[in-house]
Amino acid sequence: MQISSRFTLAVHILVCIDTFKDNYKITSDFLASSTNVNPVIIRKILGQLKVAGIAEVARGSGGASIAKPLNEISFLDIYHAVDCIDSKGLFNFHENPNVKCPVGQNIHLIMDDKLERIQSAMEKELASITLEDIRKDIENLL
């Protein structure tokens, strides 16, 4: 199990936008220089953040900005915006266990609710952290 790197890239992008907004035009090339990721990937993530109402992106070389206050953007918002998991949930459970095996025929019954509780706990923690928290941490290091 691993969450897509789009989540950490999205956080990195948003922190860069906030940190450098007063001194630089925030383009995908600018963000790519900080993330060491291709600008095409940056533009895709910015597009996802825009659809979610987290970022604003001006066409051409207009640059990117954050659409709402940092304390109103949680990690959970970002996580959902960049589609870190598919619609089935965090855990990708094998679909066809052997029903002739006593473990195989019961594994979903035994595990599904536990996996849902784990995902719920993780999402609750993601909801408790905002971009404002990260901005403060960055500020303390600079």
Q: What is the mean pLDDT of residues 63-78?
A: 96
Q: Is 114 domain-assigned?
A: yes
Q: Do residues 6 and 45 make contact, with C-beta atoms less than 8 angstroms apart?
A: yes
CATH code, domain carrying 53: 1.10.10.10
Instruction: Say what the pLDDT of residue 1 is.
Output: 47
pLDDT at 84: 67
Average pLDDT over all residues of the chain: 90
Question: Does residue 88 surpass a pLDDT of 50?
Answer: yes
Q: Mean per-residue pLDDT for 25-34?
A: 93
Asked if residue 1 is part of any domain, the answer here is no
Domain that holds residue 68: 6-141
Task: Provide the token pair at 28.
Answer: 């995908």
Domain total for the chain? 1
Query: What own/partner pairs with CB < 8 Å and gap ≥ 24 does 25-32 have?
Result: 25/61, 25/63, 26/63, 26/64, 26/65, 27/61, 27/63, 27/64, 28/64, 31/64
